[in-house]
Copies of this chain bind each other. A is one copy, B any other.
Amino acid sequence: MPRIRPSVLNPDCSSRAVLDRIADKWTALIIRVLSGGTKRHNELRRLIPGVSQKMLTQTLRSLENDGLVNRRLYPVVPPKVEYSLTPLGRSLIEPLDAICVWAEKHFPELESARARSKKAIPGR
């Protein structure tokens, strides 16, 4: 079988589905917080204000299934659950953080452009 070069532009290449999962705001925020070290579930919720319980659980589960995050359950009462990045997850810190840093640097320019476009074409 001929070997096809992986491309996110090919909808049949699994890399497209992977791009869909990692190019995600909550993924970027969770990876950023976990890059600082192991965190408990409640710590993650506190460190990522605005994330809902459901979205946090769902994103963590997806990251765990993808082998990006380790989930460690301690058999204590009440149960203690800790999350940390796997080596694969750590390899995502740099590219995802670059997106966060871009947003933190350039958001005023995007805000100005939005304001101008609303003025130019009202209702669009």
Residues of A near any B CB (own CB < 8 A): 6-11, 13-25, 27-29, 32-33, 47-50, 61, 64-68, 88, 91-92, 94-96, 98-114, 116-118, 124
Instruction: Report A80 CB to chain B, min CB distance, Å.
Output: 19
Instruction: Report A72 CB to chain B, min CB distance, Å.
Output: 15
CA distance in complex: A21, B114 (Å): 12
CB nearest to A92 among chain B residues: B102
CA distance in complex: A64, B124 (Å): 12
Residue numbers in B under 8 Å from A7 (CB-CB): 104
| Contact assessment for B66 and A16 in the assembled complex, using a CB-CB cutoff below 8 Å | no
| Contact assessment for B65 and A113 in the assembled complex, using a CB-CB cutoff below 8 Å | yes
